[in-house]
Amino acid sequence: MSNLDITFLGTSAAMPSENRFLSSIAINRNGTLFIFDVGEGMQYNFIRARFGFNKKTLIFITHMHSDHILGLLGFFQTLSLQGRHIPIDIYGPEVLYDFLTENIRILKINLSFSLYIHVIADKEGTVVTDKEYRIEFCRSNHGYNTISYAYCLIENSRPGKFNAKMAKELGIPEGILYQKLQKGEDIQFNHKTIYSKSIVGPLRSGRKIGISGDTRPSNELCKFFKNCDLLIYEATFKLTESNKAKESFHSTAYEAAKLAKQSDCLRLCLTHFSTRYKNLIEILEEAKSIFPCVEIANDMKHIFIPYRD
């Protein structure tokens, strides 16, 4: 079993507020950090979260707007000053490479770790594959001149439940034979074939976390976020300002909730709020009118993601 939890390091849109830094979300899976966007100020909350400076870290950039990337240089500087030595892989649109390499050169930032920049050029696909999970991406819609992506962390299916009582009744000794059965292999024991499916239940699904970035809702995203255990979606505006949402290629809380419902998500967490809203109760109630299992993100908010079973 793997721990999986989310910490919001920045939840404001466009500019920070007294209580909110700019966009950044950290997923911690068994000590591996997946960071989505690095807005200004996130490193302060990163330190507050006590993640440590030498964990395996992968960074994913949704798009190249300043409120989502300007924290990168300060973050890398802090990690270097703390003596980080583990490499970082970062993924994002093509101009991410020029942005990082030129600014690191101009500012003469001496990184203490290797930085591997991976350019995403396709409309959808898989950017990271591990034996236990994968990171998938899908083009989102944040304007005609902006290349933007949404991401999903998707765990692989887990083995079914092992019926230890039945195995003991059959006299099967614990150890390598148990392991083979759990892996789906049939075994020979006492001159008989013991079928894995007779002792091990059906595969159990892993967990799925969706990150919208800044975007208008779309049919493509609805399919991409299908069956998320948690969907983290931007809610820059209220429904009363839907015209502004359309003009700036953002979403309203109502639209976020509608998409979560259509995608059969279990939970929805709204983030990326315009600073014009001092009280987010109306945004929460707007979303709840469509999708009841919704909550509001605040800086340093922590969400644990359990297995469905």
Same domain? 18 vs 70 = yes
Choose, from 5, 37, 67, 299, the residue flagged as catalytic: 67
Same domain? 113 vs 60 = yes
Q: 20-63, pLDDT tens digit by residue?
A: 999 999 999 999 999 999 999 999 999 999 999 999 999 999 99
| Strands of the sheet with 32-36, listed across from one edge | 115-119, 88-92, 57-60, 32-36, 24-29, 4-10, 302-304
Q: Would 118 be classed as within a structural domain?
A: yes
Confidence of residue 102 (pLDDT cuts 50, 70, 90): very high
Task: Show Cβ contacts of residue 117 under 8 Å, excluding neighbours closer than 6 positions.
Answer: 90, 96, 97, 100, 101
Report whether pLDDT(152) > 80.
yes
Same domain? 240 vs 262 = yes
Task: Report the pLDDT averaged over residues 236-255.
Answer: 97
Report whether pLDDT(262) > 80.
yes
Same domain? 267 vs 144 = yes
pLDDT at 2: 87
Same domain? 184 vs 296 = no
The domain spanning residue 242 has which CATH number? Answer: 3.60.15.10
Q: Would 285 be classed as within a structural domain?
A: yes
pLDDT at 61: 98
Q: Would 309 be classed as within a structural domain?
A: no
pLDDT at 254: 98
Give the count of domains, the chain. Answer: 2
Report whether pLDDT(11) > 90.
yes
Q: Would 146 be classed as within a structural domain?
A: yes
Q: Would 85 be classed as within a structural domain?
A: yes
Task: Report the pLDDT averaged over residues 94-122.
Answer: 96
Fill in the DSSP letter of residue 162.
B
Report whether pLDDT(185) > 90.
no
Same domain? 10 vs 50 = yes
pLDDT at 78: 96
In the chain, the amino acid numbered 56 is K
Same domain? 28 vs 177 = no
Task: Report the pLDDT averaged over residues 275-287.
Answer: 95
Pseudo-torsion of CA 175, 180, 182, 188, nearest 10°? -100
Of 134-138, 178-182, 207-211, 304-308, the least confident? 178-182
Report whether pLDDT(1) > 80.
no
Q: Would 139 be classed as within a structural domain?
A: yes
pLDDT at 12: 97
Pseudo-torsion of CA 275, 90, 48, 79, nearest 10°? -130
What residues make up the domain containing 174? 164-199
Same domain? 296 vs 188 = no
Q: What is the mean pLDDT of the chain?
A: 95
Same domain? 102 vs 215 = yes
The percentage of the chain sitting over the pLDDT mark of 70, rounded to a whole number, equals 100
Report whether pLDDT(298) > 80.
yes
Same domain? 119 vs 42 = yes
pLDDT at 160: 85
pLDDT at 215: 98
Task: Report the pLDDT averaged over residues 177-186.
Answer: 86
Known catalytic membership, residue 67: yes
Same domain? 266 vs 226 = yes
Report whether pLDDT(167) > 90.
no
Q: Would 67 be classed as within a structural domain?
A: yes
Same domain? 138 vs 24 = yes
The percentage of the chain sitting over the pLDDT mark of 90, rounded to a whole number, equals 83
Closest CA to 75 of 47, 98, 116: 47
* Whole-structure pTM value: 0.93
pLDDT at 179: 87
